[in-house]
């Protein structure tokens, strides 16, 4: 069985990716299975650059097909911040809670209709020869005032999907798996994998 390494230590992200790729007969591993792997410093200026760097670095180290993914939240009124800094928006010892508080403080006094945001996801596939392809997905929503729901991770409890009038934290994982930025990017990854594994 072919192995696909997911270049992440984020358990929430890994769980979502595994679920989205469950139709493939792939052995899915992650950086947890390669504790000696080099640390990838995310110093790219874009999600795409970070995703590509993760995929290439780990593909070269393992010799295996690797998926590097970088995603984050862009809030329109904050000039698309936190963007590539989404996971470390609140500084060195960032946590989901601290990151969410910083976003809420930055949006103090901003009415709901002006709290437009988008989750972005870039996914890069690489093997020992280099980058196979880079794709992306996007999901639009609004940043709520209060955390709602226990599902998901990151900014999910605040990210309202207007169509459902619910946050990603409240929506069942199976709905998120159809409409999220990661689901949309991974749908494209599936097509690439299908061709690659022929």
How far apart are the C-alpha atoms of 70 and 87, rounded to whole Å?
Answer: 10
* pLDDT confidence tier of residue 197, bands split at 50, 70 and 90: confident
pTM of the complete model beyond 0.95: no
Q: For 152-192, what is each residue's pLDDT tens digit?
A: 889 999 999 999 999 999 999 899 989 999 999 999 999 99
Q: 73-116, pLDDT tens digit by residue?
A: 999 999 999 999 999 999 989 999 999 999 999 999 999 999 99
For the chain, what is the mean pLDDT?
Answer: 95
User: Which fold, 2-196?
Assistant: Maf protein (3.90.950)
Tokens 């010799």, residue located: 63
pLDDT of 13 strictly over 90: no
Q: What is the residue extent of each domain of the chain?
A: 2-196
Q: Which is the catalytic residue, given 19, 70, 114, 133? A: 70
**Residue 70 is a catalytic residue:** yes
């Amino acid at each position: 069985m072919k192995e696909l390494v997911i270049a992440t230590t984020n358990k929430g992200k890994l769980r979502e990716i595994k679920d989205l790729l469950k139709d493939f007969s792939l052995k899915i591993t992650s950086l947890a299975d390669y504790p000696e792997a080099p640390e990838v410093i995310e110093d790219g200026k874009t999600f795409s650059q970070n995703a590509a760097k993760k995929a290439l670095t780990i593909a070269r180290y393992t010799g295996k097909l690797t998926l590097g993914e970088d995603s984050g939240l862009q809030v329109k009124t904050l000039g698309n911040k936190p963007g590539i800094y989404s996971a470390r928006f609140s500084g060195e010892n960032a946590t989901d809670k601290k990151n969410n508080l910083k976003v809420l403080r930055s949006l103090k006094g901003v009415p709901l209709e002006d709290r437009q945001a988008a989750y972005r996801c870039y996914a890069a596939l690489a093997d020992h020869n280099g980058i196979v392809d880079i794709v992306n997905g996007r999901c639009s929503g609004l940043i709520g005032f209060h955390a709602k729901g226990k599902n998901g991770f990151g900014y999910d409890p605040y990210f309202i999907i207007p169509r459902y009038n619910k946050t990603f934290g409240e929506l069942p994982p199976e709905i998120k798996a159809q409409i999220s930025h990661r689901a949309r990017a991974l749908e494209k990854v599936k097509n690439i994998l299908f061709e690659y594994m022929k």
